[in-house]
Amino acid sequence: MTIVWRVTERCNLSCKFCGYDRQLERPRCEADPSAIVRFGAILSEYQKLTADSVLVSWLGGEPLLWRPLAWLTKLFTQQYGLRVSTTTNGTTLSSLSVREHLLDFYSELTISVDGIGDLHDKLRGWPGGYAAVRKGVTALACAKQKNKRGPILRANVLLMRETLPGFRELCFELADWGIEEITFNQLGGNDRPEFFPGNRLLSEQVEMLATCLPELRSVLADRGVLLRGGHAYLNRMVASSRGERLPVIDCRAGETFLFINEEGMAAPCSFTAVGYGVPIDQIAAAMDLLKLPERFATLRAIARQSACDDCHSTQVFEKFAA
């Protein structure tokens, strides 16, 4: 079971493709730590009852800037026996204390890197950002190797018209940093619809990517790096680039994946929190968690959400397939 929990909408970078760009004037919600503590205990109960390992993945905004996160992570790992991961923009990795915390308590760490050098810096609104992230990740990888403990180090690359041509070279750079896994996703249009049309992937770019990926996977594997993303994931990207809709009739919602937003709504994915969301304060025990798939199915039968008629949930389309 993977729980992706968006705990904050605050971020310290100004990425023009992201809805959490610090320059956007908008409300910034954050999760209630007491609600996280309570639900963590239920996840622990669920894990003991089912023997199904639970991974809780913190999402933002920028999660590592959210002050309650450090002690919540310790609670989840030390007392609740859960595994924890997060996705970060890398701005805090220059801190030795942050790197030591990640080595001690995290099972996986995903760092967002979109291009080499100035391209990354421009897209993120962070002069010198690429060099800073490289230094932080390299230091973390060296400490992991020395101490023989620490999270899987993963980089996630956002592919758009400008970044795709340099994707191959970036993968080799990331391998040199000590990155062990690489994932990627295409630019979407929901967060910043004004940015999307001029920067979305072209269909010929996606088709070229699909052709080149097998050889790139093989070369990276020889260097000990796993490039993730299955056939269904590429098919999703091809359909998006052509403007084709991909409906999903039944994604088995709630069986192996759950999204929770900062308002405490649990849903099959981030696209369906409004239509299918269930407040976590209505989940009082592990048995309630086990009943969520049936509850989601009932909600879908009553009022199927339009998002399901063109599903963009990456976990449904095998983003993390080996």
Instruction: Give the pLDDT confidence of 204-214 residue by residue, as tens digits.
Output: 999 999 999 99
Contact 188, 236 (CB under 8 A): no
Token readout for 18 is: 């992201």
pLDDT at residue number 168: 98
Peptide bond into 188 cis (omega under 30): no
| Bridge-based pairing state of the strands 152-159 and 181-186 | parallel
Alpha carbons 55 and 70: distance in angstroms, whole number: 16
> Residue 42's pLDDT band (boundaries 50, 70, 90)?
very high
Residue that the structure tokens 């996630």 belong to = 156
Measured in whole angstroms, how far is the alpha carbon of residue 16 from the centre of its chain? Answer: 18
- Whether residue 14 has pLDDT greater than 90: yes
Q: Which two tokens stand for residue 84?
A: 């924890």
Question: Is beta strand 181-186 parallel, antiparallel or unpaired with respect to 226-227?
Answer: parallel
Mean pLDDT of 22-49: 97
Residue percentage of the chain with pLDDT more than 70 = 100
Angle in degrees, 0-180, between the axes of helices 129-147 and 96-105, rounded to the nearest 10:
50
Contact between 189 and 307 (Cβ < 8 Å): no
Q: How confident is the model at residue 278 (pLDDT cuts 50, 70, 90)?
A: very high
177, 134 in Cβ contact below 8 A? yes
pTM of structure:
0.96
**Widest CA span in the chain:** 55
99: pLDDT strictly greater than 90: yes
Nearby residues of 133 by Cβ (< 8 Å), 6 or more positions away: 90, 93, 111, 113, 120
Mean pLDDT of the chain: 97
Q: With cut-offs at 50, 70 and 90, classify the pLDDT of residue 322.
A: confident
Give ∠ CA 19-68-37 in degrees, rounded to 5. Answer: 105
Give the pLDDT confidence of 213-254 residue by residue, as tens digits.
999 999 999 999 999 999 999 999 999 999 999 999 999 999
Nearby residues of 119 by Cβ (< 8 Å), 6 or more positions away: 130, 162, 163, 166
Residue 172 has pLDDT above 90, yes or no: yes
Share of the chain above pLDDT 90, in %: 99
